[in-house]
Every structure is written in C-alpha cells, then in structure tokens.
Structure 1
Amino acid sequence: MNKVPATAFDFLNDLKQNNNRPWFVAHKSEFDAAFGSIKDFFKSIYDEMQSLDSIERFHVHRIYRDVRFAKDKTPYKDYFGLHLGRSKPLLRGGYYVSIEPGKSFVGGGFWEPDKTDLLRIRKDIEQDDSELRSLIEDPEFITYFGGLSGEELKTAPKGFDKEHPAIDLLRKKQFLVMRSFSDEEVLAADFGREVIKTFVAMRPWFDYMSEVLTTDANGVDLFS
C-alpha cells in the first residue's frame, strides 16, 4: 500500500502561510507532485476497500476552495481529502480521510442525511435504541472513535418527546465518527493499514444504519 509522502505536509505547511494565487501558481509543480502522490495513496485505500465493501464513489477533493458563500475567502484548501461512498441504495454511509498538518483524521458516517432518512433513523431510535446503542458503546467502537459526534439540536426534534430516554440520540442531525492521527502516524509506513482498520471498525454501525434506511417501520424491505 502506498505511503503519504513528507512532501505533502511540506507543501501544505507552505500553502497555509502563502494562501494566495500568485504563490500557488509559482509553486504549481510542487502541488502537482504532492497531489499526485496523495492521489496514489488514496487510490490504494480505495482498491483495498473494494475487496472489503462495495464502493461506488471515489472522490478526491479539489484543492480549490469555493469561496462564494464562505467566510474563509482564501482560495485554496490547506488539506487533502478523500471520500468513499458505499453503493446506494442498499448500502449507506461514507468513509473519509483528511490529511492536514496537525489535524489529520479518518472518519465517516452520515454528514447530511436528507429529511426522509433522518426521520426514519429517529423513528427507529424512538421505537428501540438498544441495537444502535450497543453498537456505538461497543468497546472496540469506543477505542477507535470515543463515540458519535456531529451537529445536534438543542431540544427534541418536532414530533418527538423531549423526555424520551434516547433524547441524546434523537437530537442528532448528523451521525459521525472520527479518529485523529498525529503527523508522525500519518507518515508512518503502516498508516494505510490503520485507515483500513478504522474503516472496518465502522462497518457494523454502517450495516445497521443501512438496514434501517432500506426498510419501513415494520421491517419490510423497500427495495425488493
């Protein structure tokens, strides 16, 4: 499996200090070399995951930032990102890798579930949260991720009891996990393997959520 080259961090560190078009244009060859190596690394992650899951989307984030509606008007992202999407509609959840000096992480989950999916998840939690809770409180899951993260409401969603025992889960608008890595860990020879192990640790949770999102409240398959 390919490695993350130190030159990737070198370029990103320089970019963070010089996030402007004239500097980027003058150092385009350095970007091309660093980005090419990162894409090779990401492709090796994708190839490995194809043998472990069904992946339909391989998306390496562009370095160019969309500043139209952003508070941050710097023209370039100071990280390299990979998104792998599972094969819909039967398989749900997405895998993510972010390579950034001092802030690298491997994560995944459900970033912006649409209204229908979010309601279906909440209805399942309302009916019985025991299976989901057993998955996210499993010792291995906690070791890798610490628990679920993501944005949540300050109170109960409309139509749900604010006194429900699972209100901590019902309030969630996103269902995400994240495992941070130091720069030394990212540059290590076994980082790719750690990425794969981290993705595999998400699978029981992903598979549970996929079952929820492909059945109705009575457990009837919506896609048969």
Structure 2
Amino acid sequence: MSPIIPKSVFTFFNKLEKNNNRDWFNDNKPEFKSIEKEVKKVYHSVFENLNKHDEVDKMKMFRIYRDVRFSKNKLPYKTHFGGSFNRLKPRLRGGYYLHIQPNNESFIATGFWEPNKEDLLRIRKEFEMDDSEIRDILSNKKFNAVWGNTFVGDEVKSAPRGFDKDHEAIDLIKKKQYIFTKKYTDKEVLDANFLNEVDTAFKAIRPFFDYMSDVLTTDLNGVSLI
C-alpha cells in the first residue's frame, strides 16, 4: 500500500509561512523532522513506482533551507517539499518532479528544466528540420488530457541566434525549457490514491520522453551518439 501524505505537512507549512525565522523553526524542528521522515517515504514510493515502468537512477529530495545569497527574498526556509527523479543517462533523457505545498499549490512536472547548450541546440535543430513528430505527440488526445498541448517554461523573445524568427516552428524553437506541469488541490494530495494518480500521469509522458531521448542520442542524420 502506498504511503499517504499526512495533513500535518500542510498544517506545518502554513504555520511556517507566518513564522519564517530561525528561532521559530528551531523550536519546532522536532515536528518538522517527524513530518519530513514520513514525506521521504512518499518520495521513495514515487521512485519505486517509476522504476516499474521506467529506468530512474537518481532521486533527490531537496532540503528545506533556502539559498538566500543571491535572492531578494531573505526568508530562510521553503514552505514546500520538492524532489526530482532523473532517468538513466545517457540513453534515457528527461526527469520528473513532485512539489508538495499547501493552499492548492502542489504540482508535478516533467521534461527538461535546464538543458545544456548542446542539448538545447540539438532540440532546436530537430524542430527546425521537422516538427511533425513533436506536434503529433502534443496533439494526441490521451497525452494532452493529462499534460496539455503546450510547453511551459522560459523562452527567448524573438528567435535564438542563427534561427529564422519567421520559421513555422519558432514557437517551439524559441523555448529555453521544455516542461509540462500538472496541478493538484490539497484534497487531491491528501487522498489515499494520490501516488497512483501521480504515477499514471508520469506514465503518460513516455511518448514525449521516448522521442526526446531518440533526438538527444542521435545527430541530425540519425546516427547514434552513444
């Protein structure tokens, strides 16, 4: 049976949001550590579920401490849990993310958050040469019933250097990230079936991941790079 996210997660983060300082957190750290222990079980369960139908070699649950060195926001603690799951490189590409936050701010995400410059150029060149396959994936009813039919994430204003701003696939080419997200309410997150719902959604991304893995492991002539 899958672990259930305890309601205390949301209760604690709502209190922390009103008391985001070191004194309060240190006084309440035992409660946080107890909650964190339970949530780690959730992330490990997601990891195990993914490996039943994919190959995921890395799981990282992010710490609650914020890096405030280069941020205008100097609050010391995050008011959410986050964790990522990376597919087995170099053969498989893409990653999964689970974000747990109160007030209906929880979500899952999949895709490519920060592709390196070589991968980003390769993706853009593929879309420049032929965007039919990615369009077919995005327009598939089963796929966009879960993930929608468009990417979210940062993009350049016009066109990347070396690309035609009037190209028919410029909407795809100008992206700097290729991400899909799916939001959940607090009620949905606390439901006993939540992790099954998450896993079903993650399964639905596979046509995109299979395509992108093929793109990123071959050159423009289809010759393997690995």
Task: Indicate the TM-score class for this superposition, using the shorter chain for normalisation.
Answer: over 0.9
Aligned equivalent of 1:45: 46
List, as ranges, runs of 4+ consecutive aligned residues in structure 1 with deviation greater than 4 Å.
none
Aligned to 2:167: 164
Cross-structure match for 2:120: 118
For 1:65 and 1:108, locate their aligned partners in 2 and report how far apart those are by CA, in whole Å: 23
CA distance, structure 1, for counterparts of residue 140 and residue 34 of structure 2: 41
Q: Is it true that 1:127 corresponds to 2:156 in the alignment?
A: no
Look up the match of 2:26. 25
Say if 1:136 and 1:148, in contact at 8 Å, map to a contact too.
no
Where does the alignment leave 5 or more consecutive residues of structure 2 unmatched?
Answer: none
Q: Which moved more, 1:184-193 or 1:65-74?
A: 65-74
Offset from partner CA, 1:86-108 (integer Å, 9 cap, x none): 01111000100000012000111
Whole-Å Cα distance in 1 between the matches of residues 210 and 92 of structure 2?
Answer: 7
Whether 1:81 and 2:82 are equivalent positions in the alignment is yes
Deviation larger for 141-150 or 82-91: 141-150
C-alpha distance in 1 between matches for 2:139 and 2:16: 39
Q: Give distance in 1, aligned partners of 2:123 and 2:185.
A: 34
* Distance in 1 between residues matched to 2:74 and 2:180, nearest whole Å: 28
Amino acid at match of 1:58: M
Partner in structure 2 of residue 103 of structure 1: 105
Q: Distance in 2 between matches of 1:218 and 1:51?
A: 33
Superposition map of 1:1-224 within 5 A: 1-101=2-102, 102-146=104-148, 147-223=150-226
Q: Deviations over 1:117-167 (max 9, x none)?
A: 000000000000000111112112221122211111110111111111111
SS in 2 for 1:83: strand
Structure 1 residue 214: Cα displacement: 0.3
Query: Per the alignment, in what secondary structure is the counterpart of residue 44 of structure 1?
Result: helix
Report the residue type matching 1:116 in the other structure.
E
Deviation at 1:8, TM superposition (A): 0.8
Q: Specify the SS of the correspondent of 1:19.
A: coil
Q: Aligned partner of 1:216: which letter?
A: D
- Give aligned pairs, total: 223
Q: How big is each residue's C-alpha offset from its partner over 1:26-56, in whole Å with a ceiling of 9 and x where there is no partner?
A: 0001101111111011111111111111111
- Secondary structure of the corresponding residue to residue 199 of structure 1: helix
Give the direction of change, closer, same or farther, for the CA distance of 1:203–1:69 in structure 2 (3 Å limit).
same
Percent of residue pairs identical: 49
- Distance apart, 1:72 and its partner CA: 1.3
**Counterpart of 2:167 in 1: which secondary structure?**
coil
CA distance in 2, matches of 1:17, 1:142: 37
- The amino acid of 1:139's aligned partner reads K
Q: TM-score, normalised by structure 1?
A: 0.98
Whole-Å Cα distance in 1 between the matches of residues 141 and 160 of structure 2? 29
